[in-house]
Chains A and B, each alone.
Chain A
């Protein structure tokens, strides 16, 4: 699964804006960093009306009535991509062998073996889908993390096609992107595919989720500890307070005993009553706190844990149906004057579809275990 997010550079902003505005029917006239954009009646956009000037690059403090800034953080650009991102989230493209370069398997790329010729013969058409998923991970102690991931699967076998994810993203970004048309599968089929792929998406971003989960756990733990300490401090304060109040009550009792006049006694009695009430309150609070402490402050713990809990939301944003060709790739390999031919399953944009094993030890050939010898069959680097 491939990270699909793009870095929003000024040039990316300008390139996208120009393409999009032209696509929706506007005209763009560029004069250095100042673009004049005219939206004729019927232009399919709501981000502008009539004529405006776009000022590329640096934010300006002094904008005229029909002037807008165009840079990665400008309001105009934000509105524009918001509109564009909802315009046509489903579509279909066709990858033909003419338009795509033959992709060698990693176990050849990483080896000393040379490829003299490579010929792809397509036998049949296949269909894949590429989804872009947004994964939002939210917790109070960390900034919200948003990831965008591409995932590609073959519609019939539902096998993942990781190479296609790259091919797709590259072709979307290329200066001359391929034409898209409406999808020709049913809603129910798309729903099934979403159900099958979204769990895979979660699995693949699990390390990131784990990392944030750890951080949130630590933050929650620190907060619980801080709360505990605060309560412990409060308990000490209350202990001191009750001791003080209790000794004041004793003092007052004594002065009641020793008072000479009734009014003095009444005053002392009233005071003692007041202080006793205060004492009872403090004592009750102290007992309650001690009890909660002995229990480990379960409600507070629960509240803190809930507040720090992670919410992961996985949302499919776009789906692209990709028609590609499958067939066979014939390779002529050479090493130190020795030649060997090889035929393996291949799909354009998808890469090699067959696993290849060492003729000698039957180990799987991989990027880390590339082909080493071709004289007597294909032999891996471990042989």
Chain B
């Protein structure tokens, strides 16, 4: 490879006449040295620095040294084409956020396309807005009108490659392309690879913690998308860098030199990220006989209605979630269904559910919540606790009850203006007490001053759970964190919690691990929520249901093991690689 000599080198000597003509000219003293200095400045690199950093809201995002360094190198040392391959949990999204912010500041981001796995698109959108003040439209937004109608787009890669959009996506010259989980585009025979290969862009940032999935060719493919020709042809790459058994690298030093031009990989061990301890306390409670009866009635109704008409899946799923959150949350939806003319066949069933709701006087979860916040009041500074629920009606009930008991309460939901939201968080910090929030509490909120969180009900989407935990357990949290999970026995909530979330150690995952598991799951074409719901309504018996959930847990565990193995494999391959900042 050292004597790779395909192209000619031609050396020309530029004319010296212009310079020689100035000999003998009289010019004022001092001028010449200024000219020398001007020539030197002209040849120098502009003082490249991340000038937008000063504009960032320090409360919204805390930048770490390795992230700033990665953003800087990607922009200025790699000419805006980089593979960001930090190990899991080191904040690759933040690195891209900084890059995009800087490009926005320098006005080099007229058109940006961010391609992500479907499940992560909205999360990207939220993070860029909250942490960096960057507004992107997502292909799941109502206002999304096509890839030629917006300049800053976050889209699922599969939407972008679909027949409907592909031509529009390819027909445009993008300034910046961001590709999350880039290893999913590593196979050159797939539509995804083909899409990226044909896209026209000036700058590109690819993200992956595991550039190598199965074999070292993956690395070749991903890098060649970014910097065609860096490794020469596939055959040359193979002969020169890969041991014939495919598992080890040879000529590592040269490979490192090449990779250094395009890849940044920070390792957890080399950064100063230090998370405090996290304690999980899952509490399951016996529902009252009335609550049990209500749960059964709703589950029966959902199962029956779904078997008749699968088109109403979303609303039925909602009912199943609401019934374990609170009777109040359920009531609104039941009443809406009663008003709905198409539901005539189930009127009686729905009416009896409504009656059951009305008959419940004491809500078990509410009572149990009181003992948790009471404990907190005695042990934690200003008794600060955050209670998360998915539903506004549940939120109202909790707030009323806590206020009745004399607690200082704060309410946070999506209906507030951003200014109001700021104020609420500020009040919570200053006066303590309990903040009851819906999941509209976004990632950017800085709540590290609180270290106790209650999951009053549980989202069926593990990303949501992780996001909730991430509000308080993040870089900058100095105390140990306590997470309380509340669930009613023998309900879907207990299954999800005990059989799924605990099995995959959801509550102990390091930040970011989950997304790689879920993305792998997404490959199989279903969402987590769908899986749960289908199992719930299709099980013939209690035993069936338990077996079903166990089977899902096994799947998840497999995905998790796979993700872990890959991470280990990549660590092994890149071991001894110093891909940190160049010192030349």
Show the binding face of A for B, using Cβ within 8 Å: 4-10, 12-13, 16, 19-20, 23, 58, 72-73, 81-82, 84-93, 132, 134, 139, 141, 143, 146-148, 169, 172-173, 177-183, 185-187, 190-191, 194, 198, 202, 209, 213-225, 305-306, 308-320
**In the assembled complex, which residues on chain A have CB atoms less than 8 Å from the CB atom of B16?**
190-191, 194, 315-316
Binds A, one of B37-45, B172-180, B322-330, B477-485: B37-45
Known: A8-B47, A134-B39, A312-B11. 11 other contacts (CB 8 A): A5-B44, A8-B41, A84-B37, A87-B27, A89-B19, A180-B31, A187-B20, A219-B228, A306-B8, A315-B14, A316-B19
Whether A180 contacts B23 by the Cβ 8 Å rule is: no
Q: Which residues of B contact A194 (CB under 8 A)?
A: 16, 19-20
- Assuming the contacts A183-B23, A220-B6, asked whether A23 and B37 have C-beta atoms less than 8 A apart, the reply is no
Residues of chain A within 8 A of B164, CB atoms compared: none
Query: Interface 1/0s, chain B 8-39, versus A by CB < 8 A?
Result: 11111111101110111111111111111111
10 shortest interchain CB distances as A-B pairs:
A91-B32, A219-B229, A315-B14, A84-B38, A148-B43, A218-B232, A88-B31, A85-B38, A180-B32, A5-B43
With contact pairs A87-B27, A93-B33, A305-B8 given, residues A221 and B232 touching in the complex (Cβ less than 8 Å): yes
Distance between B235 CB and nearest chain A CB, rounded to angstroms: 8
CA gap between A93 and B36 in the complex, in Å: 12
Question: Is the pair A89, B46 in contact by a Cβ cutoff of 8 Å?
Answer: no
Partner of A318, one of B11, B35, B41, B232: B35
Task: Say if the beta carbon of B5 comes within 8 Å of chain A.
Answer: yes
> Is B364 engaged at the interface, CB distance under 8 Å to the other chain?
no
Name 20 A/B residue pairs within 8 A (Cβ), A-sorted. Answer: A5-B45, A8-B45, A84-B37, A88-B27, A88-B31, A90-B23, A173-B37, A177-B30, A190-B20, A213-B7, A216-B7, A219-B229, A219-B230, A221-B229, A221-B236, A306-B8, A313-B12, A317-B19, A317-B39, A319-B19
Q: Is the CB–CB distance between B5 and A314 below 8 Å? A: no
- A310 is contacted by which of B9, B14, B19, B35 (Cβ under 8 Å)? B9
| CB-CB under 8 A for A310 and B10, given A215-B229, A217-B5 | yes
In whole angstroms, how far apart are the Cα atoms of A19 and B392 in the complex? 66
Report whether B45 and A320 are in contact in the complex, using a CB–CB cutoff of 8 Å: no
Q: Across the two chains, which residue of chain B brings its CB closest to A9?
A: B47
Bound CA span A183–B4, Å: 46
A81 in contact with B41 (CB, 8 Å)? yes
The answer to whether A222 touches B224 (Cβ under 8 A) is: yes
Report which residue of B6, B47, B230 has the largest number of chain A beta carbons within 10 angstroms of its beta carbon. B6
Hey, what's the 0/1 contact readout for B495-521 against A, CB within 8 Å counting as 1?
000000000000000000000000000
Asked whether B7 lies within 8 Å of A182 as measured between CB atoms, the reply is no
A139: chain B residues within 8 A (beta carbon): 7
Chain A residues near B45: list those with CB within 8 A.
5, 7-8
On chain B, the residues within 8 Å of A308 by CB distance are: 6-7
- B346 in the interface (beta carbon within 8 A): no
* Cα distance A218–B3 in the bound complex, in angstroms: 11
Query: How many residues belonging to B are interface residues under a CB distance threshold of 8 Å?
Result: 54
Structural contact, A314 and B51, CB atoms closer than 8 A: no
B381 on the A face (CB < 8 A):
no
Q: Are A182 and B26 in contact (CB under 8 A)?
A: yes
**Which residue of chain B is the closest to A181 with respect to CB atoms?**
B29
Nearest CB on A from B438, distance (A): 38
- Contact between chains at B36 and A318 (CB < 8 Å): yes
In the complex, what residues of A have CB within 8 A of residue B46's CB? 8, 72-73
With most chain A CB atoms within 10 A of its CB, the pick from B31, B38, B40, B79 is B40
Q: Verify if B171 is at the interface (C-beta below 8 Å from A).
A: no
Whole-angstrom distance between the alpha carbons of A182 and B40 in the complex?
20
Query: In the complex the two chains form, is A313's CB within 8 Å of B14's CB?
Result: yes
Residue B233, interface by CB 8 Å: yes
B226-246 CB contacts (< 8 Å) to partner A = 228-236
Contacts of A91 in B (CB 8 A): 27, 31-33, 35-36
Query: Given that A23-B31, A308-B7 are contacting pairs, would A222 and B232 also be in contact in the complex, using a CB cutoff of 8 Å?
Result: yes
Minimal Cβ-Cβ distance residue in B for A169: B40
Q: Once bound together, how far apart are the Cα atoms of A89 and B35, in whole Å?
A: 6
Residues on B with C-beta less than 8 A from A173 are 37
CA distance A312 to B11 in the complex (A): 5
* A132 and B7 contact, CB distance less than 8 A: no
* Of A20, A146, A214, most B-chain CB atoms within 10 Å: A214
Among B7, B20, B224, contact of A217 (Cβ-Cβ < 8 Å)? B7
Which of chain A's residues have a CB closer than 8 A to the CB of B15? 315
The answer to whether B37 touches A172, judged by C-beta atoms less than 8 angstroms apart, is: yes
State whether A6 touches B51 (Cβ < 8 A).
Answer: no
Known: A216-B7, A219-B229, A309-B8. A146 touches B43 (CB 8 A): yes
Q: Are B20 and A84 in contact (CB under 8 A)?
A: no
Q: Does the CB pair B47–A90 fall under 8 Å? A: no
Question: Is A84 in contact with B43, judged by CB distance below 8 angstroms?
Answer: no
* Interface pair B37/A217, CB less than 8 Å apart: no
- Would B35 and A86 count as touching, CB distance under 8 A? yes
Would A178 and B38 count as touching, CB distance under 8 A? Answer: no
Contacts A91-B31, A132-B39, A172-B36; is A6 near B11 (CB within 8 Å)? Answer: no
Known contacts A182-B27, A317-B19, A218 near B35 by CB under 8 Å: no
CB distance from B164 to the nearest CB of A (A): 26
Q: Which residue of A lies closest to B11 (CB)?
A: A312
> Across the interface, which residues of A come within 8 angstroms of B22, CB to CB?
88-90
Q: Roughly how many angstroms separate A168 CA and B117 CA in the complex, as a whole number?
A: 57
Q: Which residues of A contact B40 (CB under 8 A)?
A: 4-6, 132, 148, 169, 172
In the complex, A229→B397 CA distance in Å? 67
- Contact indicator B38/A222 (Cβ below 8 Å): no
Contacts of B25 in A (CB 8 A): 88, 90, 182
Return A218 CB to nearest CB of chain B, in Å.
Answer: 4
Task: Tell me whether B9 and A82 are in contact (CB under 8 A).
Answer: no
| B20, A7: Cβ atoms closer than 8 Å | no
Contact of A225 with B233 in the complex, beta carbons under 8 Å: yes
Residues of B contacting A312 in the complex (Cβ-Cβ under 8 angstroms): 9-12
Interface residues of B in 562-579 (CB under 8 A from A): none
Does the CB pair A305–B37 fall under 8 Å? no
User: Quick check: B23 and A213 within 8 Å, CB to CB?
Assistant: no
Report how far A172 CA is from B41 CA in the complex, Å. 12
The 8 Å CB contact of A218, one of B13, B18, B29, B231, is B231
On chain B, the residues within 8 Å of A218 by CB distance are 4, 229-232, 236
